[in-house]
Amino acid sequence: MGTVIEIDNLVKRYKELIALDHLKLTVEEGEIFGLLGPNGSGKTTAINCILALLYFDKGSVKVFGEEIQPNSYEIKKKIGVVLQNVAVFEELTVQENIDYFCGLYIGDKKLRKQYVEEATVFSGLEDFRKFYPKKLSGGLLRRLNIACGIAHKPKLIIMDEPTVAVDPQSRNRILEGIQELNRKGATVIYTSHYMEEVEQICSRIAILDKGRCVAFGTSEELKGMIKTGEKIHLEAAGLLPFHLEEIKELRHVYKVDYREGMLEIRCSGGKHNLVHILDYFGKREIGFGRVYSELPTLNDVFLEITGKELRDSAE
Amino acid sequence: MFFRLYKYSIFQSVRCKLVLFWNVIFPVVLGTLFQMTFGGYVEEQVIFRRIPVAYASEQEDGAFGQLLKGLEEDSELVKVQTAEYKKARQLLKEGNVEGVFCEEPDTGDVTLIVAEQGVNQTILNSILKQYQRAKATFSNIGRENPAGIQAAAVRLEEERRYLKAGSVTEASMDCLLDGFYSLIAMTCLMGATSGLSAATDFKADATSLAARRAVAGASRMSMLLPDLAAKITMQFLYAAFSICYLSFVLGVELGEHGGLMFLTALVGSALGIMIGFLVGVVGKYSYGVKEGLCIGFMLVSSFFSGLMFQSMARIVEMYAPALNQVNPATLIAKSLYSLNIYDNLGPYFHCMGNMVVLILVLGMASFLLVRRERYAAV
Ligand SMILES: Nc1ncnc2c1ncn2[C@@H]1O[C@H](COP(=O)(O)OP(=O)(O)OP(=O)(O)O)[C@@H](O)[C@H]1O
Ligand SMILES: [Mg+2]
């Protein structure tokens, strides 16, 4: 297993604004690498640097072991790109678009025909071959964008938020498709601000904020980095401040929030947290409604590390 | 790969209805309007109405005065009023005459003063030109070979007859033809907008499509050249179509050198495309602004070649001859015009040469601008 992408101390400024601040990342062969971050965190900028589209101020970007340049066509031939903004020809049909882009990589006519067909099926566009992009719905357009990027069966696939505006069903299909491409040997870089997606398919994740990589690892590792091990929600009316104080004294509990009859208790790792809490409510004879417990999400990771919500800024 | 990309680029152009509309409908409508209004105008105004002129000279029987008198009597082309210089200018100012011919009694030099430019003035000008040519011949022969004077006098007489017979309609038709040539020039230059779109599909910081193409595994030139070739092809077809429409449907006699006319259409289209391409790769203005620039340039260029106002090219020739050497629309129109009126192809190839140089200059400038391959921002 080799290293596919190596980004070292990458600095990119847009005039005053620092979009990438000494970014350091490595992507290993065969993985699905998630780049997670809110709007404006620098995901697209990082990808454009990997593709040698942008000048950058400092640092280096190596792809397949070589510093990539705009004219590194041999390297670029091995990369499949799905850019954030849909990029297709308005005047060409679905099939022609896929053929156009595939043809920029694959010269052999017969092979190309087969690849175009496979990409059409892969993205579920069989019924729309002769459609012009204008006639496609937003989700179908996204799928066409993906098909144009991956038709030539690249070794490295770079996808920048490919599932924006795609309905959940198609989204799942796309995610499954990506996993299948990965099983067939493609390394994938996937950016998104939907943490569920990233959590679902990515083997390793880097969390970006303001151009810096603030956390890095598998989703388990990331969750292990933060204090929260479990979040317990409990519906209870009329709790008094001293109740909250007492709850906070319970084992493992480190943060208590009470808002509009809903109690949120954060516990660090450890077992039987829920039992302890329910015990307390029994002892005090306080009635309660719904109770549920959840494991931390990547959002919690982001929240703890940066002090802000990933989701809020992302929608 | 070239032909596949070329094919798709052609598809792209053909399927863009708006481009098709402007390139096909516009010349047809404008050409038809021309023919309807000016076609009739020429006959009515020029053939059937005498042009009032004033003749100012100290002596009654100057050589040119004789010629004018002859023209008045034989061909009913002009209506001559003899007056002294001041009076003649007054007549011109009041609009009673369309031009004033002044003859120097000693040298026989004649000058023409007109108040405005139009078909009539062009005819007067052409009378003067004919006279000057005849006079030059006459005096040359006289100096070198006194015996030839007789022959030259005969020639002068012939010139006069020629003026009387053919030149009237020809001079006026020339004006109208200029309009049609400018129209063809404009059709070629409409390619500027296509050249512009080739640029926006190419510059990665212009559109996401261009960015997508820039990161693909093919060299940028291998994508650009088929695009440009396709756009030039399409523009050539549009220009060829207007030539055919003008000559076969409207029956305009554009000239005999059909093949060379199409060559002009091809080179002119390439010129139009390259103008648009350069506009497209310069600076970071929005597409709308650049499109406006292209259309504006096309109109101004066509205007100076005489699209709206047929004697414009001659006026420019008088006051800023250098402009006529570089103005794309004038070059295209003039090369067509040269085919029609000159016996040799020298002037034609002069115009074509200028166009090729322009294309090379535009190409070089664009190339220097797109040479960098990374962008500060996309
Ligand atoms: N062309 C540009 N010119 C100036 N600033 C830019 C440009 N593109 C991006 N930026 C800035 O750089 C920062 C990073 O932007 P980038 O597009 O990389 O973020 P992102 O993580 O991809 O966000 P999103 O989730 O919205 O796609 C942002 O603050 C943005 O405003
Ligand atoms: Mg982005």
Q: Which atom of ligand 1 is nearest to the CA of A15?
A: 4
Residue A187 predicted with pLDDT over 90: yes
CA-based nearest distance B1→chain A, Å: 7
Average pLDDT over residues A230-236: 88
Q: Do B249 and B325 have their domain in common?
A: yes
Q: Does some domain include residue B229?
A: yes
Predicted pLDDT at B40: 53
Q: Do B245 and B350 have their domain in common?
A: yes
Burial class (CB in 10 A: 0-12, 13-18, 19+), B33: exposed
Q: Do B33 and B68 have their domain in common?
A: no
CA distance B175 to B340: 13
CA distance B249 to B240: 13
Q: Do B264 and B319 have their domain in common?
A: yes
| CB–CB contact A53 B223 (8 Å) | no
Q: Does some domain include residue B168?
A: no
Q: Do B183 and B227 have their domain in common?
A: yes
Predicted pLDDT at B30: 87
Q: Please work out whether the CB of residue A296 comes within 6 Å of at least one atom of ligand 1.
A: no
Q: Does some domain include residue B210?
A: yes
Q: Do B143 and B238 have their domain in common?
A: no
Q: Which atom of ligand 1 is nearest to the CA of A20?
A: 14
Q: Do B122 and B21 have their domain in common?
A: no
* Half-sphere CA count of A9, side-chain side, radius 13 A: 4
CA-based nearest distance A252→chain B, Å: 49
| CB–CB contact B217 A51 (8 Å) | no
For B88, the domain range is 48-160
Contact with chain B for residue A105, Cβ under 8 A: yes
Q: Does some domain include residue B59?
A: yes
Q: What is the DSSP string of A183-234?
A: HTT-EEEEEES-HHHHHHH-SEEEEEETTEEEEEE-HHHHHHTSSEEEEEEE
Domain A230-295 CATH assignment equals 3.40.50.300: no
Reading the block at residue A218, the tokens are 């598998």
Any idea where the domains of chain A sit in the sequence?
3-223, 230-295
Edge-to-edge strand order for the sheet containing A156-160? A79-82, A156-160, A187-192, A32-36, A204-209, A212-217
Q: Do B222 and B119 have their domain in common?
A: no
pLDDT 10s digits, B298-309: 999 988 887 766
Positions of chain B with pLDDT lower than 50, given as ranges: 42-48, 162, 164-172
> Which residue is closest in CA terms to ligand 1's atom 6?
A14
Q: Do B6 and B150 have their domain in common?
A: no
Q: Do B99 and B58 have their domain in common?
A: yes
CA distance B358 to B28: 28
CA distance B29 to B24: 9
pLDDT 10s digits, A61-101: 999 999 999 989 999 999 999 999 999 999 999 999 999 99
Burial class (CB in 10 A: 0-12, 13-18, 19+), A177: middle
Domain count, chain B: 2
Q: Do B245 and B363 have their domain in common?
A: yes
| CB–CB contact B214 A54 (8 Å) | no
* ipTM of this complex: 0.84
Q: Do B151 and B120 have their domain in common?
A: yes
pTM (two decimals): 0.76
Domain final position from B108, B135, B160? B160
Closest Cβ–Cβ partner in B16, B212, B375 for A87: B212
Contact with chain B for residue A68, Cβ under 8 A: no
Domain final position from B160, B191, B206? B160
A312 versus A56: which is more confidently predicted? A56
Q: Does some domain include residue B169?
A: no
Contact with chain B for residue A48, Cβ under 8 A: yes
Any idea what the CATH number is for the domain that residue B73 is in? 3.40.190
| CB–CB contact A85 B8 (8 Å) | no
Contact with chain B for residue A73, Cβ under 8 A: yes
Contact with chain B for residue A100, Cβ under 8 A: yes
Residue A129 predicted with pLDDT over 70: yes
Give the architecture (CATH level 2) of A3-223. 3-Layer(aba) Sandwich (3.40)
Residue A294 predicted with pLDDT over 60: yes
Residue A146 predicted with pLDDT over 60: yes
Q: Which residues of B touch A148 (CB under 8 A)?
A: 212
